[in-house]
């Protein structure tokens, strides 16, 4: 096995980023040469040209909706060069939590190589700051099954396609500790059983665990909140050497039974530690004394889970993983010591061709009620990777090796600085996740800040917001915002009314404030839902075939996500209307 050369990887990254503009030109040329025969590129008059100027002049900015007819033909088995020169054999599915249904996205070996390059790069910088010794990793990884499309293509979530790819295992062996969990747990057919077994494996190998990770912070937080419920059962398994009857997937049970041996001393140790913990603070270092950090995507919609995760982590550092989407990767975290709230990502200039729409020029002109068509009417003027300015916010446009050309990712990022000549960007929010009724424009980040402000009133009662979502209710006149909260215990009516008022006042967007004052937007409504409601939403997505490793709680539930809205509304126990204005 080839040994991982950390310094060589860092040197290659430094060389790539020293002249990012040249690398971008070469990358675009390579993409267009490889895919010049594609029907899509032929139809727009590019005529084999590979320069940036011709590319921008001929190729339109698109959303997924524009490419859907082409992708559908690929999914249905048309193997002619439609979007790419070589046939697409694998399809990725997005999580579906944004629009209510998953999107089909082409996936190929080049995207797999991009994934490995991102992983190698961030691991090299991470390992320089937090060196790992030989040991194991407790990784809460879950891979749903791939299936065949009507046209015979392999399809699965983006994470599933990565985990099941032979290049992944080969490429990752040199850059990470051995996983505690056998493949039969990672690829198990029942998420809840796999989670239980991940926890059990972590305890069995507790002295060897070097770090804890998952794709998203939510998965790690959820794993240890589950531990609170099942720890005595786990101790009993370790004490007796007999796996709980809750594990009935045969392949998973067989693999775990090979690992599990009676160990009363370990069971007693874990029981004693769990019994002595105060409110589970510092649970992770108590269980896994040699762990050096916790690693996963912790930005954007994951930020609300950081408070609970830090509670479990005690003093262990939280390291945010890299920045990408189901459509592909964008940047690596080369500053791992920064806390997740300040995490930045250096764009790798050779994994795609990137453009950025300056939001200052266009955002005021958007028709938020018809976001996708308004994108095309605005005729924005994107800038290149090296032309962005520090402190400015942009929407990301991606051109990749798998048939996406000038594709509007819908992400808003802020340029924080430069690493050599490539920008270091901070994720801000999803651009199309907006609460809007009138002239108001509140993003996912605005919602999060509002919930954090109101949540401080709850924390005075020693309660927390477990999870939250939102909805624009236009069935009333005027329409109003609805915020759904699941909280950790019983709060008084007085406190919840204060929280409702605080939520309303914390939306500081000028359009919202002025609309509230003249009553063109009605009083904000806080709806408190039963404990376990957001678990039902997770189960709903798992039932649709999503992998928990891709799950993100939908923060703004619109008409395309009607089933999730039904789950939320069916579990409301009490509601409050703001009296703040």
pLDDT exceeds 50 at position 62: yes
Strands 154-157 and 318-320: unpaired
pLDDT exceeds 70 at position 277: yes
Q: Under CATH, what is the fold of the domain 6-108+324-359+381-430?
A: Rossmann fold (3.40.50)
Report the percent of the chain where pLDDT is more than 70: 89
Higher pLDDT, 462 or 344: 344
Average pLDDT, the chain: 86
pLDDT exceeds 50 at position 369: no
Residue 484's DSSP bridge partners are 469, 527
pLDDT of residue 370: 42
Residue 472's DSSP bridge partners are 481
Entry pTM: 0.79
Helix axes 562-570, 533-543, angle to 10 degrees: 150
Overall average pLDDT of the 502-529 stretch: 89
Overall average pLDDT of the 367-382 stretch: 50
Taking the C-alpha atoms of residue 484 and residue 300, their distance in angstroms, rounded to an integer, is 19
pLDDT of residue 135: 83
Tell me the pLDDT band of 377, cut-offs 50, 70 and 90. very low
Taking the C-alpha atoms of residue 207 and residue 200, their distance in angstroms, rounded to an integer, is 13
pLDDT of residue 170: 64
What is the number of other CB atoms lying within 10 angstroms of the CB of residue 53?
8
| Residue 416 buriedness (CB in 10 A; 0-12 / 13-18 / 19+) | middle
Which position has the token pair 């690693």? 295
> Do 393 and 356 touch, CB atoms closer than 8 A?
no
Residue 529: CA count within 13 A, CB half-sphere = 25
pLDDT of residue 176: 58
pLDDT of residue 96: 55
Express each pLDDT in 107-116 by its tens digit: 888 888 888 8
pLDDT of residue 153: 79
Among 121-125, 210-214, 377-381, 456-460, the minimum mean pLDDT is found in 377-381
Instruction: Find, among 376, 357, 358, the residue nearest to 367 by Cα.
Output: 376
Please give the distance of CA 330 from its chain centroid, rounded to a whole number: 13
Max avg pLDDT among 117-121, 138-142, 259-263, 553-557: 259-263
pLDDT of residue 147: 77
> CA quadruple 169, 170, 172, 175: dihedral positive or negative?
positive
> Do 296 and 283 touch, CB atoms closer than 8 A?
no
Tell me the pLDDT band of 445, cut-offs 50, 70 and 90. confident
In degrees, rounded to 5, the angle at the alpha carbon of residue 174 between the alpha carbons of residues 173 and 180 is 45
> CA quadruple 555, 560, 561, 566: dihedral positive or negative?
positive
Taking the C-alpha atoms of residue 88 and residue 111, their distance in angstroms, rounded to an integer, is 12
Among 33-37, 132-136, 275-279, the minimum mean pLDDT is found in 132-136
Taking the C-alpha atoms of residue 136 and residue 129, their distance in angstroms, rounded to an integer, is 18
pLDDT of residue 45: 83
Express each pLDDT in 547-581 by its tens digit: 666 677 888 887 767 888 999 999 999 999 999 88
Express each pLDDT in 166-204 by its tens digit: 666 665 555 556 788 988 998 888 888 999 999 999 999
Is residue 217 left, alpha or beta, with left meaning phi > 0 and alpha meaning psi from -120 to 50? Answer: alpha
What is the number of other CB atoms lying within 10 angstroms of the CB of residue 408?
24
| E strand intervals along 391-533 | 393-399, 407-419, 422-430, 434-435, 442-443, 465-473, 480-487, 525-529
pLDDT exceeds 90 at position 46: no
> CA quadruple 524, 525, 531, 536: dihedral positive or negative?
negative
> Do 487 and 480 touch, CB atoms closer than 8 A?
no
Strands 147-148 and 525-529: unpaired
Find the Cα–Cα–Cα–Cα dihedral 558, 561, 566, 568, rounded to 10°.
Answer: -70
């Amino acid at each position: 096995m080839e040994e991982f050369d950390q310094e060589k990887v860092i040197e290659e990254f430094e060389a790539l980023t020293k002249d990012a503009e040249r690398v971008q030109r070469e990358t675009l040329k390579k993409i267009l040469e490889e895919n010049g025969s594609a029907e899509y590129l032929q139809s727009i008059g590019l005529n084999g040209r590979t320069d940036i100027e011709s590319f921008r002049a001929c190729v339109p900015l698109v959303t997924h909706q524009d490419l859907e007819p082409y992708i559908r033909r690929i999914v249905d088995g048309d193997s002619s060069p439609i979007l790419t020169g070589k046939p697409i054999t694998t399809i990725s599915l997005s999580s579906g939590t944004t629009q209510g249904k998953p999107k089909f996205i082409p996936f190929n070996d080049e995207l797999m190589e991009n994934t490995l390059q991102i992983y190698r790069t961030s691991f090299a910088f991470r390992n320089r700051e937090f060196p790992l010794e030989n040991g194991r990793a407790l990784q809460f990884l879950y891979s749903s099954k791939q299936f065949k499309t009507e046209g015979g293509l392999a399809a699965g979530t983006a994470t599933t396609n990565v985990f099941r790819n032979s290049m992944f295992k080969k490429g990752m062996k040199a850059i990470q500790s051995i996983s505690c969990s056998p493949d039969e747990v990672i690829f198990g057919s029942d998420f809840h059983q796999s989670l239980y077994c991940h926890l059990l494996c972590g305890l069995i190998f507790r002295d060897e665990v070097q770090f804890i990770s998952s794709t998203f912070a939510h998965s790690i937080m959820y794993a240890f909140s589950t531990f609170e419920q099942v720890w005595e059962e786990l101790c009993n398994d370790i004490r007796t050497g007999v796996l709980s009857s809750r594990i009935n997937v045969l392949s998973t049970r067989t693999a775990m039974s090979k690992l599990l041996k009676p160990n009363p001393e370990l069971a007693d140790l874990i029981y004693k530690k769990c019994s002595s913990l105060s409110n589970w603070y510092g649970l992770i270092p108590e269980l896994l004394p040699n762990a050096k950090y916790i690693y996963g995507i912790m930005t954007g919609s994951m930020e609300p889970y950081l408070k609970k995760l830090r509670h479990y982590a005690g003093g262990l550092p939280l390291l945010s993983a890299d920045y990408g989407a189901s459509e592909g990767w964008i940047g690596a975290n080369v500053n791992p010591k920064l806390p997740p709230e300040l995490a930045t990502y250096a764009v790798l200039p050779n994994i795609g061709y990137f453009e950025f729409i300056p939001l200052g020029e266009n955002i005021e002109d958007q028709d938020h009620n018809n976001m996708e068509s308004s994108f095309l009417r605005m005729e924005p003027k994107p800038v290149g990777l090296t032309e962005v300015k520090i402190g400015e916010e942009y929407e990301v446009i991606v051109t990749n090796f798998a048939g996406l050309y000038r594709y509007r990712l819908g992400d808003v990022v802020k340029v924080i600085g430069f690493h050599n000549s490539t920008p270091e960007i901070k994720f801000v929010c999803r651009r199309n996740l907006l609460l809007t009724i009138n002239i108001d424009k509140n993003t996912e980040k605005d919602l999060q800040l509002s919930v954090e402000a109101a949540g401080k009133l709850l924390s005075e009662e020693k309660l927390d917001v477990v999870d939250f979502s939102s909805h624009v209710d236009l069935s009333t006149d005027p329409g109003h915002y609805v915020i759904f909260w699941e909280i950790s215990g019983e709060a008084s009516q007085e406190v919840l009314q204060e929280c409702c008022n605080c939520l309303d006042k914390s939306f500081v967007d000028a359009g919202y404030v002025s609309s509230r004052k003249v009553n063109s937007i009605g009083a904000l409504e806080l709806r408190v839902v039963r404990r376990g409601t957001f678990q039902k939403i997770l189960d709903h997505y798992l039932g649709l075939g999503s992998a928990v490793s891709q799950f993100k709680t939908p923060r703004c539930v619109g008409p395309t996500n009607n089933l999730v809205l039904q789950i939320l509304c069916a579990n409301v126990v009490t509601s409050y209307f703001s009296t703040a204005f």
